[in-house]
Every structure is written in structure tokens, then in C-alpha cells.
A = this chain, B = another copy of it.
């Protein structure tokens, strides 16, 4: 049986603060129709694909916050996307702000199979940014305020004929996240992101640097775990705040095989052979033969860095 998937990265252009869900979902559906026309199996959308990147806006108003969140998925506004995908026989992965029945808030991504069933859920673990208003920053990045860290670990799922994993945005910079998936044999990592084009704490770190770090992290993660990876941006200018594009599909050798050329709604399509992950997993990254966990203790034993005492030299 062939294990080739026709994968689509559905990059989104900007979503303005005033854009209603209805308009956004229509854009998601238009991209899905494009993917259907090209016989795709799986469409991956960005992080927080239903709203603007709201963590840039500071508020203490609970109602204002909750308006960014979905308390049911699919809900009335997203049901048409699920219906279309099921009708077209396409799986998809979607990022959105999730409010649970218990009132907890997560930055979440789901995997929906070709029958329209939610088969996987990941909640972002590496939340960047800060909790309180920070007057030192050029703009706010309040993910630590509006979300809890994910509580589901780093699961994988057998779906679409392979072993699937999800990460979200800043997770890509953390090799621990990739390795957790790699240790479960992941074959495709799906990741959405909203990455400001300028570092809010370092004005001279602009879009070229941000794209460089984004690709470096994606390519290293894919290579070091011998898996396919797709990273999908929400890009462009949201109410005066630019986000990088640069959606990419990366092969298990760490090479970029497809890359977005715009900062708008754009579909990248790539046939990916899941069996191409096997060579690396059986040779240089055969973890069973090469990893030495007896020497990795600090990685799980200690959260922060602890340099040796001064005056030691």
C-alpha cells in the first residue's frame, strides 16, 4: 500500500480584528475547495485560524477575551467547514482558541479525518510572551495571559495512513517538543503559527531574522527526528501589526520542498511519501541504538538553566 499523502498547507493572509468568523470560515472553505480540486488528502491551517492574533491586545475584560474563543467545535460558524471537508473527503488540521466546558482556555489545534471526525487534539505547551502588560515592549505578546499551557502532553495519532503529530508556533523552537513526537515514531508534524515580523523586545530583529529562525527550527526538528513537517502561517498585516509568511513543507532530510511566496491566502501542495521517513529512523537517528538517556537527566530534572558558580575558574 502506498503511503503517499497529498498534503496542502493552507496559509492565511491577515485577519483583522473586526473580521467576523463567517468571513474567515468562507476563506478557509475556499482554500479547501482549491485543495479538493487538486485531489489533496489533508489540509493544514494556521494557529488561531479563526481570529486575528489577539494576544497582541491587552484586556482585563472577560467577555472581550471570551469572544476570541470557541466553546464548541464544530460550532455554528465552523460547521460548514466540517461539512465541506467531509463531502470532499479531505482531512484537515485547524488551530483555534479553545474554551473548555470548565472554562479553561487553551491555544489548540485539532486533526479531523476524512469522515469529519475529530481524531486528534493538541494544546500548545510552549506559550511565549508574558502575563501582564509590558510597557517595555513595542507591542504585547500575551499568550501567557490568555492561555494555560497545554495539559495533553505531546500525543501522536495513527491517521491518514501514518503517525501524525501536532505542534503550535513557538513549540517549533523547542527540541524537546519534537523529540517527544519523534520518540513516538512521528512521520508528519503539522504546525501552525502567527509570528510577528519584528521581535517586540529587539527592534533590529526583523522579518529576515524571524524567517531564518522559523526555518532553522523546522528544518532541524524534521531532520533530527526523520519526519515530514509542515508549518503554516497566518501572515501579513493585521491592524498595523505585520506577521511573517514563509509557510513551508520540510522533508525528513531537513530540506524545504515547498515554500509560500506571498503573505496572503495561499495553498502549497506536496505529495509526501511517509516511507521516506524510514531511512533516517533506521540509521543515524535510530534512537534505540544511539541515544544515551543515562546522561540526559537535567532535561527532565531541571526547568531553568543553572550555571556553575562564579569564581570557579
Contact = CB atoms under 8 A, between A and B. Distances in A.
A71 to B, nearest CB: 25
A292 B158 CA distance: 25
A284 B213 CA distance: 12
A186 to B, nearest CB: 8
A305 B216 contact: no
A153 interface: yes
A185 B305 contact: yes
B223 A216 contact: yes
A2 interface: no
Contacts of A287: 303-305
Contacts of A119: 313
A155 to B, nearest CB: 9
B303 A288 contact: yes
Interface stretch (A29-37, A61-69, A228-236, A293-301): A293-301
Interface stretch (A11-19, A44-52, A73-81, A171-179): A171-179
Contact of A224 (B217, B290, B292, B307): B217
Contacts of A127: 290
Query: Which 5 interchain pairs have the tightest Cβ spacing?
Result: A288-B304, A185-B307, A175-B175, A220-B220, A158-B313
